[in-house]
Structure 1
Amino acid sequence: MSLRMTSVTARLYGPGLPPAGQDVTLRIDGHALRIDAPQRVLPEQGVRLRRVGFDLKGLELAWDDAAGTHALQVLDGSAVENLTRALPATLQSAHSELTRSARKENSGRRLGWAVLGLFLAAPVILLALFLVFADPIAGWIAEQIPIEQERQLGEASFAQMKDDLKLRDDTEAARMLRELGARLTRGSRYTYAFHLADKPEINAFAMPGGIVVVHTGLIRATTRPEELAGVLAHEVQHVELRHSLKSIVKQLGLSALWMFATGDLGSGMAGSAATDLLTLKFSRDAEREADAHGLDTLIRSGIDPQGMPDFFRILAEKAGDAPAALLSTHPQSAEREAALREKLGALPAHSAQPLPWKPWPPVL
């Protein structure tokens, strides 16, 4: 229903008018739509409505006559409200349809913006999810990788560092290392290779697929073969539990997501910091897990398990000589020793024959 008389300011475009249009007054009187200066009456039929303006909140009335196409635009919000309330009945249905279409468009536009926002935020969301669920994700992916591929990865990595290790695999100590390793890995799904590196550092490490490297400095630091057996049992469990493979999967996944999110390729300060923190947490958890499983391996292999905490006591005494990188990624030796002795104290009493290698240490 129309108001008795409504006037709104509008802008008229059409033949004979400036390209920028002309300000006019639109008056709605009953069923008639009139324009002042230039005076004209809009036709009762054939007027088309559409939304206009930057935010599509304006309203345009367009029509054709012998001179051409004319368009009348009302952009002020309150003027549009007055105009729509006063539209003749002949235009009310067209306006209702226009409103429904506008609502659909706005809904589609909001959905489009939401999808775009989700797409832009997806890398950050994926990165956050990966950081929260990194361990189970990396564990699941690692378990899908065949052992043969894991072995190839380990061999390729070992080949790159082999020249710097100064291997002493033809010595009495190396033969002892292989014999002790075979005893600790009996029945494993992996085929192990134990290597002795002529290095003074107190260190040993395991690589994916079953490659274990022990430094001569570590053997010199031990006082009996059971302590070395504790170190080997620990490193073997890194392989059995696929810690190295999971760590690689985690770091590769984090680097890829960081690249997706920032284009930084994981080389920027923030990307590097995120990777370092993630690796630090995983390494500490992995070390504790390898300690516990390694202790079980010693008992199962008939080797005195006291050698493992005894060696951590030696490490605690030599903490000042340990590499900074080792200390930053491993729990403190005293803490590990205490945890192992607590676990041993809760186990039933058992006995084990001393290992046969004497004198100790063997010839390096």
Structure 2
Amino acid sequence: MSQIPARLFSPGLPAAGQDVVLLVEGKTLRILEPSRYLPERGIQLRRVGFDLKGLELAWDDGAGRHALQILDAQAAATLISALPPTLHEALAALALSGRKQRRARRLGWSALALFFATPLLMLGLFLAFADPIAGWIAERIPLEQERKLGEASFTQMKAELQLRDDSEGAQKLRELGQRLTQGSRYNYEFHLADKTEINAFALPGGIIVVHSGLIRATTRPEELAGVLAHEVQHVELRHGLKNIVKQLGLTGLWMFATGDIGSGLAGSAATQLLSLKFSRDAEREADAHGLDSLLRSGIDPRGMPDFFRILADKAGAPPAMLSTHPQSAEREQALRDKLASLPPVPAKPLGWQPWPPAL
């Protein structure tokens, strides 16, 4: 005979139930105080408790629904081992139900783990394949949205730029730019900023700004053409757009991909764009494609490596445009090697004298 502590829930008892003792006597189950026998058939078994290691016996009689709960795991195990044969069928159903519950719990925990792991997984995939993902998304952003992003960025920086767009130097910029961008899908703007730094930059959508200090550093217009050809290719290859896509990460990519850039997101992207630098690979790519565009335009392509030689020869800290770029000498040599591999291409000198123009 086994005595097992339990809690009884029956009509007429408090809602919280009553502590009782269950006696297992051979083929019968009996409750002490109040004394009653459990029916031999019709008892349903189910697991209860926080960890589902307890056991409940439930049955119906003329007085209503009754339930006997054994929450202690060891006591429940003792009862299971002592249940009379009349409950073996219910015990088999309980075992099957337990397996289903455990399977459901495992699935639930797996789903929960996947829910929390998915953002990390997506972030990991984005970091691992940032360049191809950014390229794929950038190619699906409408040109008008790209243009808006570039214009927003240019508007923010205008306050710090003293533009000299009415000068002779600005006119030469536009002449070279128009020659290098014939047939482009972009409508380009070329601006001259009165700044002493040797710098030039391209914004998404076709806005290119050249500092007067860069033009003063050139010795002939073909060198300026080499710089412009490089910056134009940053636009054509959508390097700035890809940069901001990578910078934003997973946030807002869907809005970019669908062309639905809200004003807040566009403003944030434009602000970040001002501080982004192109990667070394992007710079090398713009060099190579820029050299090709010079050849197509009939402009002496040697002006591009010649300008890098000028930069390499300058003493002191590297110019701003080279702070995160490949070294000037390295880029110059790569361009000269490419030119050496090509058949000689006649290029008529631009012949703009005197040089540099009035800025």
TM-score (norm 1): 0.82
Shift in Å, 1:360: 1.5
Shift in Å, 1:201: 0.6
1:341 matched residue in structure 2: 336
Paired AA for residue 356 in structure 2:
P
Shift in Å, 1:21: 4.3
Deviation per CA, 1:300-328: give whole Å up to 9, x if none. Answer: 2222222111211222233634456x444
SS in structure 2 of the partner of residue 154 of structure 1 = helix
User: What is the correspondence of 1:220-235 to structure 2 with a 5 Å cutoff?
Assistant: 220-235=216-231
1:27 matched residue in structure 2: 24
Determine the C-alpha separation between the residues in 2 that align with 1:314 and 1:128: 42
Contact 1:27 1:34 in 2 (8 A): yes
Determine the C-alpha separation between the residues in 2 that align with 1:68 and 1:201: 92
Shift in Å, 1:287: 0.9
Describe the shift of the 1:313–1:26 C-alpha distance in structure 2 as closer, same or farther (beyond 3 A).
Answer: farther
Q: Does 1:357 align with 2:352?
A: yes
- Could you tell me which runs of 5 or more consecutive residues in structure 2 were left unpaired when the two chains were aligned: 254-271
Q: Does 1:137 align with 2:133?
A: yes
Report the RMSD for the aligned CA atoms in angstroms. Answer: 2.8
Shift in Å, 1:40: 4.3
Shift in Å, 1:219: 0.5
Describe the shift of the 1:287–1:305 C-alpha distance in structure 2 as closer, same or farther (beyond 3 A).
Answer: same
Contact 1:8 1:79 in 2 (8 A): no
Between stretches 196-205 and 64-73, larger displacement belongs to 64-73
Shift in Å, 1:152: 3.1
Contact 1:12 1:70 in 2 (8 A): no
- Could you tell me which runs of 5 or more consecutive residues in structure 1 were left unpaired when the two chains were aligned: 1-5, 258-274
Q: Which of residues 175, 180, 190 is equivalent to 1:179?
A: 175
Shift in Å, 1:111: 1.9
User: What is the correspondence of 1:26-105 to structure 2 with a 5 Å cutoff?
Assistant: 26-29=23-26, 31-35=27-31, 40-63=36-59, 71-105=67-101
Q: Does 1:287 align with 2:283?
A: yes
Q: Does 1:251 align with 2:255?
A: no
SS in structure 1 of the partner of residue 113 of structure 2 = helix
TM-score (norm 2): 0.83
Contact 1:13 1:72 in 2 (8 A): yes
Determine the C-alpha separation between the residues in 2 that align with 1:193 and 1:122: 43
SS in structure 2 of the partner of residue 300 of structure 1 = helix
Determine the C-alpha separation between the residues in 1 that align with 2:139 and 2:305: 30
Contact 2:146 2:205 in 1 (8 A): yes
Determine the C-alpha separation between the residues in 1 that align with 2:156 and 2:72: 73
Paired AA for residue 206 in structure 2:
G
Describe the shift of the 1:319–1:73 C-alpha distance in structure 2 as closer, same or farther (beyond 3 A).
Answer: farther
1:314 matched residue in structure 2: 310
Determine the C-alpha separation between the residues in 2 that align with 1:316 and 1:256: 40
User: What is the correspondence of 1:236-247 to structure 2 with a 5 Å cutoff?
Assistant: 236-247=232-243
Contact 2:4 2:79 in 1 (8 A): no
Describe the shift of the 1:117–1:98 C-alpha distance in structure 2 as closer, same or farther (beyond 3 A).
Answer: same
1:116 matched residue in structure 2: 112
Describe the shift of the 1:28–1:222 C-alpha distance in structure 2 as closer, same or farther (beyond 3 A).
Answer: farther
1:194 matched residue in structure 2: 190
Determine the C-alpha separation between the residues in 2 that align with 1:300 and 1:69: 92
Contact 1:219 1:228 in 2 (8 A): yes
Contact 1:47 1:61 in 2 (8 A): yes
Between stretches 294-303 and 41-50, larger displacement belongs to 41-50
Q: How many residues align?
A: 337
Determine the C-alpha separation between the residues in 2 that align with 1:317 and 1:140: 39
Contact 1:202 1:322 in 2 (8 A): no
Contact 1:14 1:68 in 2 (8 A): no
Paired AA for residue 124 in structure 2:
A
Describe the shift of the 1:159–1:25 C-alpha distance in structure 2 as closer, same or farther (beyond 3 A).
Answer: closer
Determine the C-alpha separation between the residues in 2 that align with 1:154 and 1:146: 13
Determine the C-alpha separation between the residues in 1 that align with 2:281 and 2:247: 16
Describe the shift of the 1:32–1:250 C-alpha distance in structure 2 as closer, same or farther (beyond 3 A).
Answer: same
